[in-house]
Amino acid sequence: MEVVQVPVLSDNYVYLAHDGDETAVIDPAVAEPVLAAAAERGWRITQILNTHWHPDHVGANLAIKAATGARITGPAGEAAKIPGLDRAVAEGDTVAVGAATGRVIDVPGHTAGHNAYYFADAGVLFCGDTLFALGCGRLFEGTPAQMSASLAKLMALPDATAVYCAHEYTQANARFAVTVEPGNDALARRVVAIDAARAAGRPTVPSSIGLERATNPFVRAGSVAEFAARRAAKDGFRG
């Protein structure tokens, strides 16, 4: 599977996942740059995979569907909120992009029905706004217990799994992370690399499960209560 990152809006990433003669779009916020990225590679968009219902993840569903005939797959728990939905999926279901098979993982917390798509053979995870590089999504609809459990599911994936999250939030997340674990040497080294990448105009995404396990303060919380305290502190952080 080949993955292409398409930066849109102020900090969103839309992804093209290509295998064989199929291309899936993951969480399209806007249509034009996504269609252009596929066209310049000669790729045929056949489907859209949505992780959750927020407009910056589904805003281009109908435009891309009209332009390409793509079939839209999204979380069953949010089916009524996904424009143009053709197939509702939940934990245990699978999706296919060419010869690549992805497993659907339910990861509520940011929204009530949020899901993720894990392509084991390709070592690729599309996790929307559940897990970020050095962060996690705000709890708009879910509880700390739900989000903590969702992150634990993702941390059970192999260390080498590439984490394709939906926003470039890493530098801001890093400023908070170092206040939580000031003695974490792996985190300190990562912050230097993040700052260098952003200064050079490079993305900090994808990350990896192993890197998040070593440095992300939210997945490293020792209890739901500790996770909740860290999430609340991040919500009010202005560093």
Domain locations along the chain: 2-235
Of 209, 218, 211, nearest in space to 191 by CA = 211
Of 111, 124, 45, 119, nearest in space to 82 by CA = 111
Catalytic status, residue 235: no
Helix (H, G, I), strand (E, B) or coil at 68: helix
Catalytic status, residue 195: no
Q: Is the pLDDT of residue 239 over 80?
A: no
Cis preceding-peptide flag for 206 (omega within 30 of 0): yes
pTM, to two decimals = 0.96
Helix (H, G, I), strand (E, B) or coil at 49: strand
- pLDDT (tens digit, 9 = 90+) per residue, 169-206? 999 999 999 999 999 999 999 999 999 999 999 999 99
The fold for domain 2-235 equals Metallo-beta-lactamase; Chain A (3.60.15)
77 DSSP 8-state letter:
G
Active-site residue, from 18, 27, 54, 106: 54
Catalytic status, residue 114: no
